[in-house]
């Protein structure tokens, strides 16, 4: 971001299919320089594999992609230059939930890793607080953990942008000029 110092941590949050990932990519491009995309998705079936492949193709080949469905902290620690896009905290948290991990522990570790990362980071997350209270304990556990993680990320981020219907709404900080 020429003319203004980059934000060390940015959070882009929104609902499913809100346009948050595309907006986060534009935000990362505004930093200039090398870009690392840390992907947290796992391809459990052919539809998800096609979805991941479409995301990779849409981004183009000027990104370094690192797959980190569980060990996001180590992936963040390994990046030493440029800027990072993590997409997304929701899938990462879901992976830990399904693995039976301690969500509070891993959420705290992720928050610390983001703060300590050597380069600016933009992290994408789903806002799950606008949905109904789920009808089962596992889904309620996830919704609670995701809400707590989102609040912790937003508290520490210098820039928080909510995206709805492809439109960014700055909740915290100042949005830099973005490429088209």
The pLDDT value recorded for residue 180 is: 67
What are the residues facing 11 on neighbouring strands? 123, 160
pTM of the model: 0.92
Q: What SS3 state is found at 71?
A: coil
> What is the C-alpha separation between 50 and 163, in angstroms, rounded?
24
Structure tokens at 114: 């983001």
- Which of 31, 55, 96, 106 is flagged as catalytic? 55
Domains of the chain: 9-172 (3.40.50.300)
Active-site residue, 55 included: yes
d(CA 79, CA 55): 21
pLDDT of 4: 44
Cα–Cα distance between 164 and 180 in angstroms, integer?
18
pLDDT in tens, the chain (180 residues): 343 445 799 999 999 889 999 999 999 999 888 999 999 998 889 999 998 898 888 888 899 999 999 999 999 999 999 999 999 999 999 999 999 999 999 999 999 999 999 999 999 999 998 878 889 999 999 999 999 999 999 999 999 999 999 999 999 999 888 876
Strands (E), the chain: 9-14, 35-39, 64-67, 83-87, 121-126, 159-164, 167-172
pLDDT of residue 111: 96
Contact criterion met (CB below 8 Å) for 37 and 62: no
């Amino acid at each position: 971001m020429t003319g203004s110092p980059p934000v060390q941590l940015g959070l882009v949050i929104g609902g499913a299919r809100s346009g948050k990932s595309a907006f986060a990519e534009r935000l990362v491009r505004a930093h200039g320089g090398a870009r690392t995309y840390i992907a947290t998705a796992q391809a459990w079936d052919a539809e998800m594999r096609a979805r991941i492949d479409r995301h990779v193709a849409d981004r183009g080949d000027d990104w370094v992609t690192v797959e980190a469905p569980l060990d996001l902290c180590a992936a963040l620690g390994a990046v030493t230059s440029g800027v990072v896009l993590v997409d997304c905290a929701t899938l990462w948290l879901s992976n830990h939930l399904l693995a039976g991990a301690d969500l509070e522990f891993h959420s705290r570790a992720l928050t610390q890793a983001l703060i300590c990362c050597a380069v600016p980071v933009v992290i994408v997350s789903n806002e799950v607080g606008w949905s109904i209270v789920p009808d089962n304990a596992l889904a309620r556990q996830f919704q609670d953990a995701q809400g707590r993680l989102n609040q912790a990320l937003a508290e520490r981020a210098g820039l928080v942008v909510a995206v709805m219907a492809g439109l960014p709404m700055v909740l915290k900080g100042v949005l830099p000029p973005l490429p088209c």
